[in-house]
């Protein structure tokens, strides 16, 4: 399926720094040198968790980014979905995500990406109802969008949708169609390919690519998506080379 949109500049890319195996400030420098001005931060990584960043540390991190003319595009909170309905983990999982939402508010109300659980019918399990309510309440209070990347997409009037193309391709679905179908609720969009090898990888590989980048980019335009697109380098064999390759493919 192909979507046609006016020729406009594509949304900016925001690489995931968790995949780069560098201290944050060194990663910021290298990314800036490669032309990136936004970064996606894992709020579960040591040194970047809410409990590791007091008020002064948060101000210092933001000042560090401002000096580099960079901003945080969003925060990742990849807690295992099953923890939200496991009695041994649920309270802690919710508490951590609420702290991450508060951190996102301090970073300019950037969106928080996570995956809520699904039952066998693809619905939110009854045990996760209180979890959803707590996250929705904090989202409304702070103005921070919560992007649920779980599939299938849940019907919800507060929790937003996150789209990871590799995950949709793995389900045999069209990521561009997902963007158009859920554009009104789209809180975070990623760009990453599911290569013919079955591995997640950068976009723009002429021999192994499966993602139709032009259609995906056009679908974002049709959906009037205004955020940065997360360049998700997790699990890539060579993240730095993949970032350069992907940036070229994204703007070509």
- Do 3 and 219 meet the contact criterion of CB atoms below 8 Å apart? yes
Lateral strand order in the sheet of 160-163: 13-15, 229-231, 186-191, 160-163, 146-148, 112-114, 71-76, 38-42
Positive/negative CA dihedral, 128, 86, 111, 242:
negative
Could you give the C-alpha distances from 68 to 19, 27, 29, 73, in angstroms and in order? 20, 11, 8, 14
The SS3 of residue 212 is coil
Q: What percent of the chain has pLDDT over 90?
A: 96
Chain centroid offset of residue 8 CA: 23
Q: Which pLDDT belongs to residue 9?
A: 84
Please provide the average confidence, as pLDDT, over all residues in the chain: 96
Q: Which pLDDT belongs to residue 36?
A: 98
Of the pLDDT bands very low, low, confident and very high (cuts 50, 70, 90), residue 3 is low
Ramachandran sector of residue 10 (left: φ over 0; alpha: ψ -120 to 50; beta: rest): beta
The predicted-structure confidence for 80-130, as pLDDT tens digits, reads as follows 999 999 999 999 999 999 999 999 999 999 999 999 999 999 999 999 999
At residue 236, does pLDDT exceed 70? yes
At residue 223, does pLDDT exceed 60? yes
Secondary structure percentages of the chain, helix, strand, coil, to 5: 40, 15, 40
Q: Which pLDDT belongs to residue 1?
A: 57
Could you give the C-alpha distances from 170 to 25, 89, 192, 239, in angstroms and in order? 34, 28, 12, 21
Of the pLDDT bands very low, low, confident and very high (cuts 50, 70, 90), residue 198 is very high
DSSP string for residues in 137-195: HHHHHHT--EEE--SSPPP-SSSEEEE-HHHHHHTT--HHHHHHHTGGGEEEEEE-EE-
**Which CATH homologous superfamily contains domain 13-251?**
Divalent-metal-dependent TIM barrel enzymes (3.20.20.150)
Q: CA angle, 179 as apex, 206 and 251 as ends, to 5°?
A: 40
Q: Which pLDDT belongs to residue 5?
A: 47
**161-165 mean pLDDT:** 98
Q: Which pLDDT belongs to residue 4?
A: 52
Q: Where are the domains of the chain?
A: 13-251
């Amino acid at each position: 399926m192909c979507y046609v949109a006016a020729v406009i500049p594509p949304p900016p890319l925001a690489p995931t720094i968790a995949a780069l195996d560098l201290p944050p400030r060194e990663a910021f420098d290298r990314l800036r040198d490669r032309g990136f001005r936004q970064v996606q931060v894992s709020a579960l990584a040591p040194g970047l968790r809410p409990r590791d960043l007091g008020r002064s540390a948060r101000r210092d991190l933001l000042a560090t980014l401002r000096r580099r003319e960079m901003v945080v595009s969003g925060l990742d909170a990849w807690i295992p979905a099953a923890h939200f309905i496991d009695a041994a983990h649920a309270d802690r999982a919710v508490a951590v995500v609420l702290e991450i939402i508060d951190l996102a508010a301090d970073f300019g109300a950037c969106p928080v990406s996570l995956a809520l659980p699904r039952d066998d019918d693809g619905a939110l399990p009854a045990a996760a109802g209180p979890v959803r309510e707590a996250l929705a309440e904090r989202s409304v209070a702070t103005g921070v969008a919560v992007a649920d990347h779980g599939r299938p997409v849940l019907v919800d009037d507060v929790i937003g949708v996150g789209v990871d193309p590799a995950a949709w391709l793995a389900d045999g679905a069209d990521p561009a169609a997902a963007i158009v179908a859920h554009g009104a609720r789209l809180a975070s969009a990623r760009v990453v390919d599911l290569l013919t090898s079955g591995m997640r990888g950068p976009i723009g590989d002429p021999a192994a690519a499966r993602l139709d980048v032009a259609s995906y980019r056009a679908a974002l335009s049709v959906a009037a998506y205004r955020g940065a697109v997360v360049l998700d380098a997790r699990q890539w064999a060579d993240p730095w080379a993949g970032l350069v390759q992907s940036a070229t493919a994204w703007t070509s």
